Amino acid sequence: MTRRVHARRSAFAKSLLMLAVGALVALGCGCGTVPAAGGPGAKDEIFYLIFVRSFRDSNGDTKGDLRGIEDELDYLQGLGVTTIVLTPLYKSPFYHSYFATDFSRIDPAYGTEADFRRLVRALHGRGMKIFIDEEVQYVTADHEWYRDAIDNPKSRFSRFIPFRGPGNTLPESGPYGLLDLPSYDGTKVRVATVNLYDPGVLEYQTRMFEYWMNPGGANADDGVDGFRIDHMMDDLDSRKILVNLFARFWTPLFEKLRAENPHVRILAEQADWGYGDDFLIRGGVDLVYDFPLRGAIVSFDKKKITGAVAETWRRTPAGKGQLIFIENHDTNRFASEVGGDVRRERVGAALNLLLKGIPLIYYGQELGMEGRQFHGWNSDANDIPVREAFPWTETVGPGMAVWYKDSGPWWTRSPLEKGGYVSLEAEAKDPGSLLAYYKGLIALRRTHPELVSGDQAILADDNDRVFVFERFSGARRTLVAVNLSNAPATARVAASEAAPAPQAALLRNAATGDALARGGDGSFAIALQPYGVGIFEVSPPN
């Protein structure tokens, strides 16, 4: 449902002033500026996932590009982003750029290699980092390996693609067992599986990864800081054709990358959408997505959230990381999941940014962009509604990457076509906006290091509608209480739950500084508005 949002957001901001972090602007924290190197929270990380074709158009062709991203680095850094993750850049016949026709070339719609290097240098000059998305398991029929090997057993690439037909007539199909994948423009594109067992494939991809990690040569500052591995599996597509890939392909690749650059980090999109412990241990990656927690947050069910938080960290090895997120390019937008209720969007934001882990924001999430997958189009158009143009302005105009405009029902149903959509132009002027709320939360992280690197505990309370947790590091402790219901709620938390020295414990509202009164039994009664968020400093040091 498209929202007429501005009046509603201002009203919510007023009603939540006492307990919501939207009131952080009163502390002077709403600017979202990035602290100087070595300052408070200097090690804080906020990942930001960009669907490149839809983010920012710099040259008027309606397609998002690398120069467009560079043009908006002030915005991203002002929001508090430290690391951007880009969807694939290589040539592909698909709008999303998965399934390559050439792993070595950037799609001209995105720009040139010089544009890429310039973007990386610009990010590094700001102390920011960049990850790029890689999917190496498939190629299209236009790829050199496929073109040379099809019907040609003598091809030097014959072993790069598994064939089932005699004389290389029938390649092993791509994902989901499909050989021809339909695209939103009505075409069908042949996609074949790559033989990740072949040493030549491993050698080639190692060179490609090394190149993007260090394209300018030794000591250059134009290489990526990490890679996102799309659709990573140990048994590719669970078909028992390419098995033990952790040991046979991924681990050797990662070892070679780390030998060249010990600081490179690998993020897996674990294809099973589980907790990712197998990928962190046997798969050798550094980071995974916390898919189970995302599902629990969307449910607004306290038991599910509590269980997912506990299980996440029970199954995460020391030294490994989880990306905490509420939406990405393969899920419905969170704003649509919660019916456009900005109060619930704030709950999602608080859990996204304050729970233990590295927060990931999907582009436009901070504005409340809407979008829900539609599986009736039977093509990659199904996902266009969750990959729409970033709404820079209140009316569609220059810079908006509306590459899909007038191409089908995904456009005629779009909030951008219907009007009344959220936009950066509007929210940047509104101190009660969701954008201001995100900036306030990120600013809070940077003045409270326990919210960045501290440990985490789920606190017991007497209300099954209120989820309470605490982040702590040394003497610093911050308590967060979230009302998961559409009714006022009060939760009582024992002082012994909140602090190691309960007789001296105080809870002070992080936005207002007001102390929370203790009851006769010594407990704290935390009163929350419907879908309210309360954030409190626990016995803060002088």
Q: Would you list the DSSP string of 124-180? A: HHTT-EEEEEE--SEEETTSHHHHHHTT-TTSTTGGGS-B-SGGG-SBPB-GGG-SE
Q: Identify the domain containing residue 467 by its residue range.
A: 451-538
Question: What b/e string do you get for 214-251 counting C-beta neighbours within 10 Å, with b at 16 or more?
Answer: beeeeeeebbbbbbbbbbbbbebbeeebbeebbeebbe
392, 56 Cβ separation under 8 angstroms: yes
3-state secondary structure of 270: strand
Give the CATH number, domain containing residue 177.
3.90.400
Single pTM value for the model: 0.92
Are 183 and 262 members of one domain?
no
3-state secondary structure of 274: coil
For 503, other C-beta atoms within 10 Å of its C-beta total 8
Contacts of 410 (CB under 8 A, 6+ apart): 184, 374, 377, 381, 384, 385, 404
The 3-class secondary structure across 508-522, one letter per residue, is: EECCCCCECCECCCC
Asked whether residue 1 is assigned to any structural domain, the reply reads no
Distance CA 439, CA 78 (A): 8
The total number of structural domains in the chain stands at 3
3-state secondary structure of 298: helix
Tens place of pLDDT per residue across the chain (542 aa): 444 343 334 433 333 333 334 333 322 232 233 333 333 334 799 999 999 999 999 999 999 999 999 999 999 999 999 999 999 999 999 999 999 999 999 999 999 999 999 999 999 999 999 999 999 999 999 999 999 999 999 999 999 999 997 899 999 999 988 999 999 999 999 999 999 999 999 999 999 999 999 877 666 789 999 999 999 999 999 999 999 999 999 999 999 999 999 999 999 999 999 999 999 999 999 999 999 999 999 999 999 999 999 999 999 999 999 999 999 999 999 999 999 999 999 999 999 999 999 999 999 999 999 999 999 999 999 999 999 999 999 999 999 999 999 999 999 999 999 998 999 999 999 999 999 999 999 999 999 999 999 999 999 999 999 999 999 999 899 999 999 999 999 999 998 888 877 777 889 999 888 999 888 888 999 999 999 999 999 975 44
Are 405 and 514 members of one domain?
no
Calculate Rg over the CA atoms of the chain.
24
Are 302 and 398 members of one domain?
yes
Asked whether residue 16 is assigned to any structural domain, the reply reads yes
Q: Which residue from 379, 472, 438, 383 is spatially nearest to 186, judged by alpha carbons?
A: 379
Asked whether residue 233 is assigned to any structural domain, the reply reads yes
Asked whether residue 486 is assigned to any structural domain, the reply reads yes
Are 441 and 477 members of one domain?
no
Are 463 and 380 members of one domain?
no
408 DSSP 8-state letter: S
Are 99 and 238 members of one domain?
yes
24 DSSP 8-state letter: G
Asked whether residue 388 is assigned to any structural domain, the reply reads yes
Question: What b/e string do you get for 316-330 counting C-beta neighbours within 10 Å, with b at 16 or more?
Answer: beeebbbbbbbbbbb
Asked whether residue 317 is assigned to any structural domain, the reply reads yes
Are 412 and 462 members of one domain?
no
Distance CA 492, CA 526 (A): 6
Are 308 and 416 members of one domain?
yes
The torsion defined by the Cα of 384, 389, 395 and 396, in degrees rounded to 10, comes to -90
Are 400 and 471 members of one domain?
no
